Structure 1
Amino acid sequence: MTELVSIIIPCYNAEKWIGDCIDSALSQTYKPIEVIVIDDGSTDASLSIIKKYGNKIRLASYPNSGPSASRNRGFQISKGHYIQFIDSDDYISPVKIKEQIEFLKVSGKDLVYSDWCHQVYNDDNSIKSLNYITNQSADDMTYYVISNNTIHIGSCLYKREVIERMSGFDESLRIAEDYDFFIRLAFSGAKFSYMEGCNYFYRIYNSITASHGQGIKYPNSVKFLLDKISFCLKEKELWNSKYHDVLACKYFFVAKSYAMLGAFKEANTCYKTSNDLSGNQKFRPDGNSKFENTYNLLGWKATIVLMYAFQFISNRLRLTQSGKTK
């Protein structure tokens, strides 16, 4: 008997692309499938577009709750033995599910992950750039997931029970929920298998893709995840230099994010954590921003003092200017 595959599509304000996404799901060469679209309180024309598919899909609509809640709701009403997630502004190739099911059955693992394609679009929908994100097979998936964070949720195919075992996605997270999801999968003992090739296409266009680059704007969420990872590593007796080095680098970039937002107390706390983990190694971030140039030249303490002084002066000038205009 051929097992059912549930394709779950969370959608929020994706009127420009939701049709392409659903079409790619319905065009799979593998059968049987069920396509479940969860409208997450869209305020554009997404819902009316979705309704045009009629009984070809299953539709449920809820007030806006974020991608984690939408994926969980889709999973709860699904019936498939295998699960495929697609973000509403992305699409998959027609052979994705067929090829990955065949691979997963041979491997005997819980989920299969593959490479994926990152596409950046111009305003006229032409592709400005295209980049293949290549993953690789790894013996230590916990380390691979924590250090790389390059597996895309939609590039995978999952056995149903592996998602049930970890109770789906953390609905308290609005960003980095995918990173948290894979880390919890790895900690749960899920067996990963890697299949070479690209069948998932991730699209970015201007500011419409809400999740792109949000980590630097919300360092609290990223720090929460790093603290949780640290706790789990200690519980599993994996608190060693290999993981210390990875986390030190990640805490450093959270410290930088806090500094860029003017949260200097939090920035210093994360920087101290980074130093403690790395043995006072100095990270040298890439790029040419004012922060990076100053940090590379003067070090952390001087950079923070200068940023604090600049913020203080800017605030004073703003208050002075405001007083003059009253």
Structure 2
Amino acid sequence: MKLSVIMPVHNRETYVGAALRSLLRQRDAADLDIVVIDDGSTDGSAQAVRAMMDEASCIRLFQQENMGVTRARNSGLRQLEPEAELVSFLDSDDISPPGRFAADIELFRKDRALDLTYSRMMLVDRIDDQTLEPAPDCNSITIRGIHLSAAIFSRRLVERLGGFDEDFVQAEDTDFLLRSFEVGPRYLLPDTLALYYRRHAGNMTRQDDVQSREFMRAIYKSMKRRRADPSLKPIEGIFELKKLADWRFM
């Protein structure tokens, strides 16, 4: 099955090579298409991606002026090839664990009506960029959090949702996931480890005031949609928000 993985990049020269390598090591699990959107980087991010393209034709690079992560994600969606059946995401500072795609794509092969898998993530404060694994002395927690990279979407579900809400500066991923579950997709919650989320000083989510405001706005918009349309489904028992909140203060 053809899987397109969309990766927005903005000034991630230090990390993007490792992120791409973590995807490339899984090429035997799927017909992999990696769509990199360079959102106006001013460092060597584009050059780092091009260096990887020399050894992997499945990486496609598109460059645009800096318009923010939400528009970069939508730019990636517009670059999907007609034969792409599945869509996922990986942020350019995170790592896709070995076996991630082999485990969850098999679920789509077994059930062609499946719309969505939503797996677990590990939040980790140190990653060895040679082994692409958490460092031995790292702090970590494994949860079912709120992250696009934990999901694999069917193409038909992505098209039904109609892209990311560009009214969001952050939490566009939260909004997209909430809308995904609201429409009542056929989904599974595997215990697959879907990503290593790298905690570092440059994380967008470290902007606590912006992140909190945008997150609450996503939750409010979800509640408003569900009040207006009783056919939409409640979002219950999916995200482990208490564990996620506890990690923020570790």
Q: TM-score, normalised on structure 1?
A: 0.62
How far the C-alpha of 1:17 sits from its partner, in A, is 0.8
Match of 2:72 in 1: 70
Distance 1:219 1:204 in 2: 17
Match of 1:48 in 2: 47
Distance 1:219 1:132 in 2: 22
Aligned pair partner of 1:13 in 11, 14, 17: 11
How far the C-alpha of 1:46 sits from its partner, in A, is 0.9
Distance 1:199 1:228, change over 3 A: closer
Counterpart of 1:13, as a letter, is N
How far the C-alpha of 1:238 sits from its partner, in A, is 8.2
Counterpart of 2:19, as a letter, is C
How far the C-alpha of 1:70 sits from its partner, in A, is 1.3
Assess if the C-alpha contact under 8 Å between 1:104 and 1:193 holds in 2: no
Which consecutive unaligned segments of at least 5 residues does structure 1 have?
136-149, 244-284, 290-326
Distance 1:88 1:103, change over 3 A: same
Counterpart of 1:60, as a letter, is F
Distance 2:149 2:16 in 1: 15
Larger helix proportion of the pair: 1
How far the C-alpha of 1:68 sits from its partner, in A, is 1.8
Counterpart of 2:118, as a letter, is Y
Q: Say whether residues 1:209 and 2:206 are aligned partners.
A: no
Alignment of 1:88-107 (within 5 A): 88-107=92-111
Match of 1:84 in 2: 88
Match of 1:121 in 2: 126
Counterpart of 2:14, as a letter, is K
Aligned pair partner of 2:185 in 172, 175, 190: 190
* SS of alignment partner, residue 196 of structure 1: coil
Assess if the C-alpha contact under 8 Å between 1:114 and 1:151 holds in 2: no
How far the C-alpha of 1:164 sits from its partner, in A, is 0.8
* SS of alignment partner, residue 191 of structure 2: strand
Distance 1:216 1:105 in 2: 42
Distance 1:238 1:98 in 2: 34
Match of 1:249 in 2: none
* SS of alignment partner, residue 16 of structure 1: coil
Higher RCO structure, 1 or 2 (CA under 8 Å, sep 6+) = 2
How far the C-alpha of 1:219 sits from its partner, in A, is 5.2
Distance 2:46 2:16 in 1: 9
Q: Say whether residues 1:130 and 2:140 are aligned partners.
A: yes
Assess if the C-alpha contact under 8 Å between 2:170 and 2:210 holds in 1: no
Assess if the C-alpha contact under 8 Å between 1:10 and 1:39 holds in 2: yes
Distance 2:149 2:85 in 1: 17
Equivalences, count: 226
Aligned pair partner of 1:181 in 151, 172, 176: 176
Distance 1:129 1:103 in 2: 31
Assess if the C-alpha contact under 8 Å between 1:7 and 1:85 holds in 2: yes
Give a deviation string over 1:195-230, Cα, whole Å, max 9, x none.
11313111011x2112x2435345553453343223
Match of 1:232 in 2: 225
CA RMSD of aligned residues (A): 2.9
Distance 1:112 1:219, change over 3 A: closer
Give the share of equivalent positions with the same residue, in percent: 27
Which consecutive unaligned segments of at least 5 residues does structure 2 have?
236-244
Match of 1:145 in 2: none
Distance 2:117 2:40 in 1: 31
Greater Rg over alpha carbons, structure: 1
Q: TM-score, normalised on structure 2?
A: 0.80
Distance 1:165 1:44, change over 3 A: same
